[in-house]
Amino acid sequence: LTDPGTVEDSNWMKQYLSAEEIVEVQRRVHDKEAGGSYNTDAVKFCKKCDIYRPPRAMHCKQCQKCVHRMDHHCPWVQNCVGAANTKFFVLFLTYGTITCVYYTFLVTHTIMYAFEGQTRKKKAEAAAWIALLLGSAIIVFMLTFMLGGLAGWNIYLITKNQTALENYDLDIGAQKNRRGYGKPSPKKGKTQHRFDRGAYKNVQSVMGLNPLLWLLPVGNPTSELSRGVVG
């Protein structure tokens, strides 16, 4: 239910750009040759919201609004994952994974010692509960890999200061050398991300400046770097 970082209006341009730069940006945005391609790294004009959205912002069709540093729209939480709630989304995945692992461990331990010291009648009664626990453990065990995979993937993206959309664009750019998203890297086949500031600063831009609060669902981690208004 947390606001993902809605782009309310175009006033961000006055704060970060000079009058001349605003005119130039607006000209390029409406120039099909210069700004017409799909690219989250450029300022775009959203016809549905009637605003200029900063780099990294995207329009969500489900939420009907533009979101800073939009990663994706998550059907699990019925909300966008953006600059203002990426931290909480990653913590949700991480703690969900830990909970699933803990539950699986408890069920496994219960099943292993369920029949010790029990009479034949008690064992028969316990068998039904064991079957139920075993079925739930299998489901939770599978869920562990799903949540764990998503958590690991999102943590990796945070260390690179990328969204899922940006990572896709970078892969396409590396393969086909198009969209002008990043800039060539010395390593062959790689594209350098414009907003990459090193792992520590990248994590700070999403999780907050204080490392002691990274694992707590508190604070407002939104930064200029995560919102894309600086590059």
Q: Which residues are catalytic?
A: 74
Between 113 and 55, where is the model more confident?
A: 55
> What is the pTM (predicted TM-score) of this model?
0.81
Question: For 104-115, what is the mean pLDDT?
Answer: 81
Between 65 and 14, where is the model more confident?
A: 65
Nearest Cα residue to 208 out of 82, 95, 217, 8: 217
**What pLDDT does 227 receive?**
59
Give per-residue pLDDT as tens, 72-102.
999 888 899 998 889 999 999 999 999 999 9
Strand partners, 45: 52
Q: Is the pLDDT of residue 105 over 80?
A: yes
